Copies of this chain bind each other. A is one copy, B any other.
Amino acid sequence: MPEVLFEIDQSKSFYAQEVNCHNRWHPDIPPVATVRPGTEFRLECREWFDGTIGNNDSAQDVRDVDISMVHPLSGPVSVEGAAPGDLLVVDILELGPTPQEQGPAAGQGWGYTGIFARENGGGFLTDHFPDAYKAVWDFHGQMATSRHLPGVRFTGITHPGLIGTAPSHALLERWNTREAQLIATDPEAVPPLALPPEEHNALMGGLPEAEARAAARTGARTAPPRENGGNQDIKNLSRGSRVFLPVFVEGGKLSVGDLHFSQGDGEITFCGAIEMGGYIDLRVDLIKGGMEKFAVQDNPVFIPGNVEPRYSEFLTFVGISVDEKGDQRYLDSQLAYKRACLNAIDYLTKFGYSPEQAYLLLGAAPVEGRFSGVVDIPNACATLYLPTAIFDFDVRPSASGPRAVDRGRCATT
């Protein structure tokens, strides 16, 4: 087991850990450790809502979470010799849920998928699902099952939802400017268009208090993916992957968080994936001057690992960019994928699931979401691939019709 550079007591809040914690992006947050290229190390991670979501049958906790506390990040770790313009090579050697029992937080043998209420963050299908829901998943080694989704059992595609380097001051300012401009176009939008810097609940790592307060006023929120990687929520950035991250500050300052036991493409429920606390083992290396050499400047590149769960049969749903009211939109893949997801949900209800259960399933199971046609004016075409083997019944269309049975219900408010 590699050395632990960031140690978490999973029985305590992220605000009460011994180690310096952060939940904002800021170049001035000092590293918790500095390692040489070639080093392997472990970071322990707190689940993204800091243990406030319970293993129970009510979604009130999901309804009431305070999104200003996300994401608890582990790190930053600096790498000797890393300088702006380099590529930081990060191997994701291993990751998993919290190995030992330590209090009741997610990751102790279970995780959860939530649907945010429209008033508290919303999600991909918030117009159709404005209220809060939850499914609790039990871990069986690499498999997950849920009492809230009977008839389903799948292998998790474990990955960090969030991994990234620290932005430079200039890059941070660029983020804040462009996001503020977007917010200004509709400041009262519900859910909001973007999340501006927010002092409340901000943790700024090892920065002295006065500096921390100042930094919190400009520190970038961690919800979106950006040039530094960040909350990309790429399910295939799984165990065994090698990531090439742009370096914007001395040392690179690598942070990680938001571990997922599994996720469907899109993480459509937002409070999505199967959330868990746990650990991640990394190895770091450098490609000096790699950003320019390989033109990797605006976003990371990566090579996925080779142990993703192997499913070979899929039922595929198609969506096009005509909205639910029948209005034609112009080449809009976001809408096309939404329609594909809604088509899948409608389909699954024919087998006895409630729409909420189906929505939760698509956020958590290893479904593939693909861009199919993006140029066939005026309709983008998106496809969602649902592995048929995750069901303990035959989910394919057949002349005998779907076998609808009572499939229980998910956690509601």
Chain A 338-374: CB-based contact to B (< 8 A → 1; otherwise 0): 0110010011011000000000000000001111111
Complex CA distance for A332 and B388, rounded to whole angstroms: 29
Whether A224 is near chain B, meaning CB under 8 Å from some CB there, is yes
A residues 301-358 with Cβ under 8 Å of B? 301-320, 322, 326-334, 337, 339-340, 343, 346-347, 349-350
Say whether, besides A376-B233, A378-B224, A239 and B141 are in contact (CB < 8 Å).
yes
| The stretch of A17-25, A55-63, A88-96, A203-211 that contacts the partner chain | A88-96
Complex CA distance for A281 and B319, rounded to whole angstroms: 26
When C-beta atoms are compared, the residue in chain B nearest to A389 turns out to be B313
Residues of B within 8 A of A74 (CB): none
Interface range on chain A (Cβ under 8 Å from partner): 35 or more
A337 to B267, Cβ gap below 8 A? no
B299 to A306, Cβ gap below 8 A? no
A residues 377-404 with Cβ under 8 Å of B? 377-383, 385, 388-389, 396-399, 401-402
Say whether, besides A179-B328, A293-B402, A308-B310, A374 and B267 are in contact (CB < 8 Å).
yes
Chain A 268-305: CB-based contact to B (< 8 A → 1; otherwise 0): 11101000000001010011101001111011111111
Whether A84 is near chain B, meaning CB under 8 Å from some CB there, is no
Complex CA distance for A313 and B365, rounded to whole angstroms: 18
Q: Which of B225, B312, B350, B380 is A320 in contact with, Cβ under 8 Å?
A: B225
Complex CA distance for A331 and B298, rounded to whole angstroms: 17
Copies assembled: 4
When C-beta atoms are compared, the residue in chain B nearest to A323 turns out to be B178
Q: Which of B296, B309, B327, B347 is A301 in contact with, Cβ under 8 Å?
A: B347
Say whether, besides A272-B375, A334-B331, A378-B194, A370 and B294 are in contact (CB < 8 Å).
no
Residues of B within 8 A of A302 (CB): 315-316, 318
A155 to B397, Cβ gap below 8 A? no
Residues of B within 8 A of A109 (CB): 1
Q: Which of B87, B179, B225 is A397 in contact with, Cβ under 8 Å?
A: B87
Whether A103 is near chain B, meaning CB under 8 Å from some CB there, is no
Residues of B within 8 A of A227 (CB): 320
When C-beta atoms are compared, the residue in chain B nearest to A101 turns out to be B1
**A-B CB contact pairs (8 Å), 24 listed:** A1-B101, A91-B140, A155-B305, A155-B306, A178-B327, A179-B378, A182-B330, A191-B377, A226-B320, A231-B376, A232-B373, A233-B373, A233-B375, A268-B374, A272-B375, A287-B398, A287-B399, A298-B339, A301-B317, A302-B318, A303-B314, A303-B388, A334-B334, A371-B382
